[in-house]
Amino acid sequence: MKRNILITGGAGFIGSHVVRLFVGKYPDCRIVNLDRLTYAGNLANLRDVENRPNYTFVKGDICDYDAMRSLFAEYDIDGVIHLAAESHVDRSIRDPFTFAWTNVMGTLTLLQAAREHWNGTWEGRRFHHISTDEVYGALPFDGTLFTEQTRYDPHSPYSASKASSDHFVRAFHDTYGFPAVVTNCSNNYGPYQFPEKLIPLFINNIRHEKPLPVYGRGENIRDWLYVEDHARAIDTIFHRGRDGETYNIGGFNEWRNIDLIRVIIRTVDRLLGRPEGASEKLITYVTDRAGHDLRYAIDSRKLKEELGWEPSLQFEEGIEKTVRWYLANQEWMDDITSGEYERYYQEMYTGR
Active site residue ranges: 133-134, 158
How far apart are the C-alpha atoms of 146 and 133, rounded to whole Å?
8
Among 214, 265, 282, 297, binds ligand DAU (CB under 6 A): 214
13 binds, among ligand DAU, ligand NAD, none (CB under 5 to 8 A by kind): ligand NAD
Q: Report in angstroms how near the CB of residue 123 gets to ligand DAU at its nearest.
A: 32
Per-position x/- string for 79-98, each x denoting binding to ligand DAU as judged by CB under 6 A, each - no binding: --------xxx---------
Q: Is 277 helix (H, G, I), strand (E, B) or coil?
A: coil
How far apart are the C-alpha atoms of 43 and 37, rounded to whole Å?
8
Interface with ligand DAU, residue 201, by CB under 6 A: yes
Q: Report in angstroms how near the CB of residue 30 gets to ligand NAD at its nearest.
A: 19
Asked if 25 contacts 75 with a C-beta cutoff of 8 angstroms, the reply is no
Interface with ligand DAU, residue 234, by CB under 6 A: no
Question: How distant, in Å, are the alpha carbons of 179, 224, 327, 334 from that of 17?
Answer: 24, 16, 19, 21
Give start and end residues of each alpha helix (H) in the chain.
Answer: 13-25, 65-75, 89-94, 96-99, 106-118, 157-176, 198-207, 227-240, 257-271, 301-307, 315-328, 330-336, 339-350
Closest CA to 286 of 351, 221, 206, 340: 351
Interface with ligand DAU, residue 239, by CB under 6 A: no
214 binds, among ligand DAU, ligand NAD, none (CB under 5 to 8 A by kind): ligand DAU
**Is the CB of 108 or the CB of 199 nearer to ligand DAU?**
199
Per-position x/- string for 98-137, each x denoting binding to ligand DAU as judged by CB under 6 A, each - no binding: ----------------------------------xxx---
Interface with ligand DAU, residue 220, by CB under 6 A: yes
What is the greatest pairwise CA distance in the chain? 63
164 binds, among ligand DAU, ligand NAD, none (CB under 5 to 8 A by kind): none
Among 26, 65, 176, 215, binds ligand DAU (CB under 6 A): 215
> How do beta strands 79-82 and 55-59 pair?
unpaired
Question: How distant, in Å, are the alpha carbons of 41, 113, 256, 283 from that of 35?
Answer: 7, 16, 33, 36
**Is the CB of 61 or the CB of 243 nearer to ligand NAD?**
61
User: Site residues (CB under 6 A) for ligand NAD?
Assistant: 8-9, 11-15, 35-38, 40-41, 61-63, 83-85, 87, 102, 106, 130, 132, 162, 185, 187-188, 194
**Is the CB of 78 or the CB of 166 nearer to ligand DAU?**
166
Instruction: Establish how many alpha carbons lie within 13 A of residue 34's alpha carbon, considering only the half-sphere containing its beta carbon.
Output: 27
**Is the CB of 113 or the CB of 225 nearer to ligand DAU?**
225
For 81, residues 6+ apart whose C-beta sits below 8 A from its C-beta are 5, 6, 7, 8, 18, 128, 130, 234, 238
Among 55, 224, 296, 326, binds ligand DAU (CB under 6 A): 296
**Is the CB of 102 or the CB of 220 nearer to ligand DAU?**
220
Interface with ligand DAU, residue 299, by CB under 6 A: no
Closest CB to ligand NAD belongs to which residue? 12
How distant is the alpha carbon of residue 75 from its chain centre? 25
222 binds, among ligand DAU, ligand NAD, none (CB under 5 to 8 A by kind): ligand DAU
